[in-house]
Structure 1
Amino acid sequence: MRKLCFFVIITLVLSGCVQKKIIDDINIISVQGYDTHEDEDTVRGTFVIPVYEGDKSISNTSFSAVASQSKAVKRKVEQKSSDPMVSGSVEVVLFGKELAEKGVFDIVDTLERDPSIGANLIMAVVDGTAKEMLEQNLGNRGTGTYLYNLIYNNVRRRELPRSNLHLFLFSYFSKGKDPFLPYINLEEDKVNIKGVAIFKDEKVVSYVDDEEMFFFKALMENFKNGSYTFKVEGEYVTIFSLTLKRKYEIEHAMKDPVVHIEVVLDGHIREFSGKVMDPKTIAKIEEKFSELIDEKTEKLLREFQEKAVDPIGIGLLAKTQTKSFDEKAWNEAYKRATFHVNSRVIISETGVVE
């Protein structure tokens, strides 16, 4: 009986220590954006709060402030808010292009240290300013949900490689791999996936445009779905339901690296502008697509090499295959690396065009 009374008392005491927050009495941040400011020592932050209307629709209210550190931006913003602002539901964080090219680690470090923010937080670089994008009323379920679903859908079903706070930090702190983030822009009242922003340490130094995203993802990860359209002997063909697998091997990692990449792609033909779809035509399509993959991926790898960035993680592969890996020695060896991509394309279905 004494044990039961003790348990009840402890339960009541502990429950009284929990800080309760009534949802109607707080402002829940769904998106945060950061930009440079006129004063080089300050940063502008823009926070978006979803507002739930009586007709069940959602609008957005944005708050903006300037401070010397990203940690201080939220405090400045709260000075304009009638209710406390909480970060537990932040879905997306945006960086303006100018800020991203200047460096974002101070902000990313703040996000990492905030226990209310999850590691799956999506981040992206904006062609322009984050403030301009976040002042728009995007989507019918709130700007945060709209941006999250846009990026997630393009990762899951299109050609955008996976990225989030956890993966960014892993690449940032890894020896032999550089981070990347989605690169987006505003087109009237919609947001467009423009490509991928490549980082060297904390700064964006290069961009992969949307025409090259498929080949970038082919180097980055095994995936399903997606599609690609190209020309074969003057006719357009679209291949979809792509299943891609790739394998890396590296020789002479710390001297004159030779990187071999094998890509196997299985897909279906959705559209073909020609009149005849026979085995000979299918063979030509497979051959042409294979040549494109080899050419485009090798070109991307050489461009990364020239800019001394490695978002693919070739250096990470070298590290796993080298007992006494030396980062400085690898950086010099990477400049001399040669790349050989060998792809094989299999058309398993031709659908209604047959």
Structure 2
Amino acid sequence: MRKVIFLLISFMFLTGCVEQKIIDDINIMSAVGYDAREDGEVKGTIVIPVYKADKSISNESFMSVAKVSKEINRQSQMKSADPLENGGIEVVLFGKELAERGVYEISDTIERDAAIGDRLYMAVVDGKADEVLEKNLGNLGTGAYLNTLFEHNMRHRELPRSNLHLFMYSYYSKVKDAFLPYVKLTGNKVKIIGIALFKGDKAVDYLNDSDMFFFKALMENFRNGSYTFKVGEDYVTTYNITTKRKYEIEDPLTQPKVKLRVKLEAHIREFSGETLDPKVIDLAGKSLEEQINKRTEELLNRFRDKGIDPIGIGVLAKTQTRNFDPEKWNAVYPNATFEVSSKVLITETGVIE
């Protein structure tokens, strides 16, 4: 009993040591953007949500220029009437020019901050990040809007999973390269237009939105995707797509031969032709198989030729190889060959059918 009382008293003293912060007396950051400036400087834009009496939400932004990201935060604090707290950051955006210059210093600083969760989303903007963050996006504030945009498209569409944790894991990996969503401001909306591919901490290539379905098929097993393709002179739209993939890697440290098997199940939502009969369904399945084989193999060859590995073929080779040597793998990866085969099953064609 004495031990219990002692523990309770100890907890009381411990809780008394924690600094309490009243939410009405602080500014909680929801999104941050960084853009390249001359002389190696970086422009930072911090966005906080402002809750109005009529329950609507607008944004207030703070902009500063400095050599390092921590100095941007310090300068912004001097412009804010209330303390700026970074524990609520949901999204970090990098302008394209800065992404191509390198984002390690900023990403590393964010990751080291214990107040910031490593599951926050990051993305590259086609243009400047501040142009996005100056807009009042969505009904819940810009940060919440962007967070929901990425989460929805990763869970239910063709955007592969990515966040701060996964980006830094790929950066530090000796056999894998990072990628981030690539977005563009269109009016009062932000559109995901593709994928930014990194070598180290620099963006070196970009996939467009037509590549995203095939890139995600290479990256992960997923559900609820959709894809529209041509069969003869007609168009077929598939949805509720489920994919499974399996890699086999032969001779990984001498002459890598990468074999990929993709299984895909899908429903047909829309057909532009007159009659969706079994013959057309069979043709649609074979056409999609051909496109998967061709487009995924093209992407794998493209990555190899650019000296990047966003898929993590090297990670897969490591799991399949005893005494795996990253240096040997990186030396032979430029000579890797790829073979892709797929099997498509159309399981439904609509309620009428």
Q: Give the shorter-chain TM-score range.
A: over 0.9
Aligned to 1:233: 232
Q: What is the rounded CA distance, in whole Å, between the counterparts of 2:4 and 2:19 in structure 1? A: 25
Aligned to 1:295: 294
Q: What is the rounded CA distance, in whole Å, between the counterparts of 1:11 and 1:231 in structure 2? A: 66
Aligned to 2:330: 331
Q: What is the rounded CA distance, in whole Å, between the counterparts of 1:4 and 1:113 in structure 2? A: 36
Contact (CA 8 Å) 1:277, 1:353: kept in 2 or not? no
Runs of 4+ residues deviating >4 angstroms: 1-9
Q: What is the rounded CA distance, in whole Å, between the counterparts of 1:292 and 1:220 in structure 2? A: 17
Aligned to 1:29: 29
Contact (CA 8 Å) 1:159, 1:226: kept in 2 or not? yes
Q: Deviations over 1:85-117 (max 9, x none)?
A: 101111001111001001001111111111111
Counterpart of 1:33 in 2: which secondary structure? Answer: strand
**Unaligned 5+ residue runs, structure 2?**
none
Cα offset, 1:2, TM superposition: 6.9
Cα offset, 1:321, TM superposition: 2.2
Matches within 5 A, 1:101-180: 101-180=100-179
Q: Counterpart amino acid of 2:334?
A: K
- Quick one: structure 1 residues 256 and 9, their matched pair in 2 at CA, closer, same or farther if it must change by over 3 Å? closer
Aligned to 1:18: 18
Aligned to 2:60: 61
Q: Deviations over 1:173-219 (max 9, x none)?
A: 12211110000010011000010001101100011110110000000
Cα offset, 1:9, TM superposition: 4.7
Aligned to 2:247: 248
Counterpart of 1:16 in 2: which secondary structure? Answer: helix
Q: Counterpart amino acid of 2:125?
A: V
Aligned to 2:201: 202
Q: Counterpart amino acid of 1:102?
A: R
Contact (CA 8 Å) 1:271, 1:353: kept in 2 or not? no
Aligned pair 1:224/2:223, yes or no? yes
Cα offset, 1:339, TM superposition: 0.5
Q: Deviations over 1:202-260 (max 9, x none)?
A: 10001111011000000000000011011101001101000000000001111111100
Counterpart of 1:351 in 2: which secondary structure? Answer: coil
Q: What is the rounded CA distance, in whole Å, between the counterparts of 1:271 and 1:203 in structure 2? A: 40
Q: Counterpart amino acid of 2:75?
A: K
Q: What is the rounded CA distance, in whole Å, between the counterparts of 1:131 and 1:267 in structure 2? A: 40
Q: What is the rounded CA distance, in whole Å, between the counterparts of 1:264 and 1:241 in structure 2? A: 14
Counterpart of 2:259 in 1: which secondary structure? Answer: strand
Counterpart of 1:115 in 2: which secondary structure? Answer: coil
Aligned to 1:78: 77
Q: Deviations over 1:38-63 (max 9, x none)?
A: 221x2111100000011111000010
Contact (CA 8 Å) 1:176, 1:313: kept in 2 or not? yes
- Quick one: structure 1 residues 4 and 284, their matched pair in 2 at CA, closer, same or farther if it must change by over 3 Å? closer
Q: Counterpart amino acid of 2:74?
A: R
Matches within 5 A, 1:339-350: 339-350=338-349
Q: What is the aligned-residue RMSD (CA, Å)?
A: 1.4
Q: What is the rounded CA distance, in whole Å, between the counterparts of 1:303 and 1:6 in structure 2? A: 65
Matches within 5 A, 1:254-265: 254-265=253-264
Matches within 5 A, 1:261-280: 261-280=260-279
- Quick one: structure 1 residues 88 and 284, their matched pair in 2 at CA, closer, same or farther if it must change by over 3 Å? same
Counterpart of 2:268 in 1: which secondary structure? Answer: strand
Q: What is the rounded CA distance, in whole Å, between the counterparts of 2:12 and 2:119 in structure 1? A: 34
Cα offset, 1:12, TM superposition: 4.0
Q: What is the rounded CA distance, in whole Å, between the counterparts of 1:143 and 1:221 in structure 2? A: 29
Cα offset, 1:154, TM superposition: 0.7
Counterpart of 1:296 in 2: which secondary structure? Answer: helix
Q: What is the rounded CA distance, in whole Å, between the counterparts of 1:199 and 1:114 in structure 2? A: 23
Q: What is the rounded CA distance, in whole Å, between the counterparts of 1:184 and 1:348 in structure 2? A: 33
Q: Tell me whether 117-126 or 316-325 shows the greater mean CA deviation.
A: 316-325
Contact (CA 8 Å) 1:32, 1:92: kept in 2 or not? yes
Q: What is the rounded CA distance, in whole Å, between the counterparts of 2:320 and 2:17 in structure 1? A: 52
Q: What is the rounded CA distance, in whole Å, between the counterparts of 1:134 and 1:70 in structure 2? A: 17
Q: What is the rounded CA distance, in whole Å, between the counterparts of 1:31 and 1:4 in structure 2? A: 44
TM-score when scaled to structure 1? Answer: 0.97
Contact (CA 8 Å) 1:241, 1:268: kept in 2 or not? yes
